[in-house]
Amino acid sequence: MLLEVSHIFKSYPDLPVLHDVSLEAGPGEILCLLGPSGCGKSTLLRIIAGLETPDSGTVAFAGQDLASVPAHLRNFGLMFQDYALFPHRNVAENVAFGPRMRDWSRAETDARVREMLALVGLSGYETRSVTELSGGEQQRVALARSLAPDPRLLMLDEPLGALDRSLREQLMNDLRDILKGVGVTTLYVTHDQEEAFALADRVLIMQARLDQGEGGRVVQEGPPEAVYRHPATAYVARFLGFRNLFDGAVVEVNPGPPPRYVVDTPLGRLDVYDAVGAYAVGQRAAVLIRPEAADALPAGSAGQNNTLAGRLLSSSFRGSYFLVQTEHIGGVLTCEVPVTEADLPSPGQPLVLHLNPDAITLLEG
């Protein structure tokens, strides 16, 4: 592992920021720190960059402890949320800054500037003033600037946060290609789950428990698909946007493999086929019903497992499905139901849903 961050604690007077955070990154990996504002992810970047010191814990790169190495000697790259481009220098001078500070020759620097600008798609912008650039252009210059001195590790702090939606989509794709093309180990910080999943090899979800006096900590780590399929806790599930979360108690275990459970929930007894880890009878767990789990059945259907009779609250057309809110005994479900308009009753009328057990999972509460 190239980057090793171990047991970082950091707090300011009256404000805990980081609580026992550890992570590792291998060469060429893109790691994404995902979490809401205030969970300390930007502070963690700054600590790794050397702009702040942790209260305890170590940051090591290629086996070397960086505690005594000041920021300007670490050879890392950091791209700021609002770019921090030098206003009194033009585009080429901004990009050339890093190589100049590292005493590259004039010829090497010029060549590198051209190469970087071509990489981010801004060839020919050398003499432009940075204050006249658009948001997207500034972001690209900032990226070129941080990559120019060939850093051992690149850190990006919410780089797409200030851009509008269409620009973000476009840059998200370009960014992963550029980073993988260059092959630099990358730490990417964001609060946007979509960005994280589009860019990362591995995602780390952070949560701060300020009411308990604790700063941010990593609550789940893994490839984006694994995290999405199996959020570790209800917090992670809610952060990822899942809404159908219920308390449950396991009543039956079929060890399988794969293990299958029957769980008692406020909505009734449900078959749950998609759980990770082992749960015992009587164990309490959170039940996550994915939005794609539901199918609409003709009114009056009953009998099978996982069939819930309810009342339609609202429905909204989304193209390939309807976003349907239904009220059942025990709770409200929000599901993406693939029906046509003809099959849906009007709001207030009864509606029966069948929930596919492969799309229901168990998590820690």
Partner 1 sequence: MSRTRRLENLLYIIPLGFLGLFFFYPLAAVVWEAFAPAGRLDLSPLFSLWREPYFRQALWFTLWQATLSTVLTLAVGMPAAYVVARYRFPGKSLLLALTTIPFVMPAIVVAAAFTALLGPRGWINSRLMSLFGLDAAPIRLQHTIWLILLVHVFYNTAVVVRLVGSFWANLDPSLPEAARVLGGSRFRAFREVTWPLLRPAVVSAGLLIFLFCFTSFAIIMILGGPRFATLEVEIYRQAVILFRLPQAAAISLAQMAITFVFMVLYTRVQARAAVTLNLRSSKETEQRPSGALQKALVIATIAGLVLFLATPLLALLSRSLAPGDPLRYYRELFVNRTGSIFYVPPAAAIRNSLFFASVTVVLASFIGATTAYLLARREDRWSRLLDPLVLLPLGTSAVTLGFGYILALGLPGFDLRRSWLLVPIAHTLVAFPFVVRAVLPGLRGLNPEWREAAAVLGASPWEVWREVEMPIVWRALLVGAVFAFTTSMGEFGATLFVARPELPTMPIVIFRLLGQPGPLNYGQALAMSTLLMLVCAAGFLLIERFRVGSLGEF
Chain positions contacting partner 1, by CB under 8 A: 49-51, 70-78, 80, 82, 84, 86-88, 97-98, 101-102, 145-146, 149
- Is the CA virtual torsion 91, 93, 94, 98 positive or negative? positive
Q: How many Å apart are CA 298 and CA 352, to the nearest integer? A: 7
Q: How many Å apart are CA 23 and CA 3, to the nearest integer? A: 8
The SS3 of residue 248 is: strand
| Structural contact between residues 146 and 154, judged by C-beta atoms closer than 8 angstroms | yes
Nearest approach, Cβ of 11 to partner 1 (angstroms)? 17
Choice between 97 and 197, CB closer to partner 1: 97
Nearest approach, Cβ of 95 to partner 1 (angstroms)? 10
Nearest approach, Cβ of 78 to partner 1 (angstroms)? 4
Residue listed under structure tokens 């814990």: 57
Nearest approach, Cβ of 101 to partner 1 (angstroms)? 3
Choice between 99 and 216, CB closer to partner 1: 99
The SS3 of residue 236 is: helix
The token pair at 322 is 């309807």
Q: 306's torsion region: left (phi>0), alpha (psi -120 to 50) or beta? A: left
Nearest approach, Cβ of 356 to partner 1 (angstroms)? 49
Choice between 82 and 192, CB closer to partner 1: 82
Choice between 100 and 311, CB closer to partner 1: 100
Q: How many Å apart are CA 69 and CA 172, to the nearest integer? A: 33
